[in-house]
Structure 1
Amino acid sequence: MRDIVRVRQMMGARLKELRLGAGLTGRELSARHGWQPSKISKLENGRQTPSEEDLRLWCEATGVPDEAADMIASLRSMQTLYSEWRRQLRHGTRARQQSWLEMEAETERFRVFEPCVVPGLLQTSEYARQRLSQSIAFYGIPDDVEDGIATRLRRQEILYSPAKSFHFVVLEAALRLGMAPPDVMLGQLDRLTTLAMLPRVRLGIVPMRALLPHTPLTGFWIMDERAVVAETFSAELTLTLPEEVEQHARMFSWFARVACYGVEARKIIVRAMEDLAG
């Protein structure tokens, strides 16, 4: 929530800067659009969130209409920055998986980094059951695990679309952590070797002994160039500011450079399978 307040305050400061740069008083600006004078003060001091139309009219009135696009992008980022898991999941896991399905349908290029888990688009049904069951237990939401699994598996049909491309980078730790019983993990690792052969799927595995380029704080999904989705225990962050997308893209490229692909990635997966099998 503090991040939202901070962004709103920064936006207000920029609005004030534009008004002063145009030589307008607050009363003059409010009179142009029939606004209450108090609205100017509230917007500039971050006590009120502007609408997209407010931003367009403000930028036009202050002689910088080209500023509107960036400010609207900031506004949208602020509006989607923080979404509580409890609110998102109140209808169970199927609804959340459905929203992912819709978002993925709009995306052509996927760049996915996961340090601890196998990405959802690559999961087997039994591995997905482990992940979704944990969410149901932790958040105390309706138990619709079978519906959630079915929707997650339906999401995977997108892997075969000729209009999409996928680049996954996963730490070897995700293959070895106890995220599921050994038999489930064996099936999941075998599935990875198969999916890695798909023509539009590129799977990179970062070896355990690789010198990491940065601390892997959390997993994240880059959807084209328009958004980054990252999860915490209490929220899902959707980041849309161009600089935020660029920073995550740069971080993804850093990890991608130290990942192994093709035959070498397969060797890492097979070794993890052999260790599981004992």
Structure 2
Amino acid sequence: MTSSVPWRQRLSTGTEDIQDEVVRRYRETREGVAYVPAMIWGTLQTEAYATVILGQVVEFLGVPDDVPAGVAKRMERQRVLYDGEHHYDVVLGEQALYTDIGGPEVMGGQIDRILRDIGLPSLTLGIVPVSARVNMHPVHAFNMYGDEVHVELVSSGVTVTEPDEVALYRKAFGRMREAALYGDAAREILGQAGSFWAGARRG
């Protein structure tokens, strides 16, 4: 089954309630999967980066502005990276490291955060280089929690639970994973992005 709920409905009381829902989902899911081509995965976002992102959501959708509360919940969700009980297999597009969210200071701090956490036992992080040959047509970002897939569209959030459809998302993730670089190669890509934003700060 596939269900869709408009963002304006889900965020009618602001960003905190939905972040609370996501915190619960992460706590309940021991093994998570995420593919995020153009921005930083929420569970690796710095407070500064998340503040910009949620501020954009509030402004774009015209929902109640409770950004500090929403950001606090997003930071709370990140505890799953350090509790020793969860594991997340995440693939980022290299573009995510260069999409300008908040300017060079915010982006530089964000790259530093990823470099700090890339070696966590709870995290398997791959980066698909912009020039990588990918055996998959371009697809949107998605998160998998067990047998559910969550997709964020412009106007709504979509949940996919039909087994055949979920299997296609698993297949898609596998193909993106095949194109990703890991370990030292991923660190090199991150280091290049960090140098880019350091140069932008000086400029």
Whether TM-score is above 0.5 comes out as: yes
Superposed displacement of residue 276, structure 1: 1.7
Given the alignment of the two structures, is residue 207 of structure 1 paired with residue 129 of structure 2, yes or no? yes
SS in 1 for 2:40: coil
Partner in structure 2 of residue 155 of structure 1 = 77
Q: Over residues 211-245 of structure 1, what are the superposed CA-to-partner deviations in whole Å (9 max), with x where a residue is unaligned? A: 12223321000112x10000100011100011111
Letter in 2 for 1:274: S
CA distance in 1, matches of 2:139, 2:171: 15
Write 1 or 2 for the structure with the bigger share of helix.
1
Given the alignment of the two structures, is residue 247 of structure 1 paired with residue 168 of structure 2, yes or no? yes
TM-score (norm 2): 0.95
Which of 158, 162, 166 is the matching residue for 2:88?
166
Superposed displacement of residue 154, structure 1: 0.2
Write 1 or 2 for the structure with the bigger share of strand.
2
TM-score (norm 1): 0.70
SS in 2 for 1:110: strand
Q: Larger Rg: 1 or 2? A: 1
Letter in 1 for 2:99: L
Partner in structure 1 of residue 159 of structure 2 = 238
Letter in 1 for 2:157: E
CA distance in 1, matches of 2:179, 2:136: 11
Superposed displacement of residue 141, structure 1: 0.8
Contact 1:115 1:216 survives alignment (8 Å): no
| Structure 2 counterparts to residues 16-31 of structure 1, below 5 A | none
Letter in 1 for 2:6: E
| Structure 2 counterparts to residues 1-278 of structure 1, below 5 A | 77-78=1-2, 81-224=3-146, 226-278=147-199
Superposed displacement of residue 157, structure 1: 0.3
Percent of aligned positions that are identical: 35
**Across the two proteins, how many residue pairs are aligned to each other?**
199
SS in 2 for 1:82: strand
Q: After the TM superposition, which segments of 4 or more aligned residues of structure 1 sit over 6 Å from their partners? A: none
Q: Which consecutive residues of structure 1, in runs of 5 or more, have no partner in the other structure?
A: 1-76
CA distance in 2, matches of 1:220, 1:213: 18
Contact 1:124 1:188 survives alignment (8 Å): yes
CA distance in 1, matches of 2:53, 2:25: 20
Q: Over residues 113-140 of structure 1, what are the superposed CA-to-partner deviations in whole Å (9 max), with x where a residue is unaligned? A: 0011101000000000111000000111
Q: Over residues 33-73 of structure 1, what are the superposed CA-to-partner deviations in whole Å (9 max), with x where a residue is unaligned? A: xxxxxxxxxxxxxxxxxxxxxxxxxxxxxxxxxxxxxxxxx
SS in 2 for 1:221: strand
Letter in 2 for 1:241: E
Letter in 2 for 1:153: M
CA distance in 2, matches of 1:103, 1:86: 21
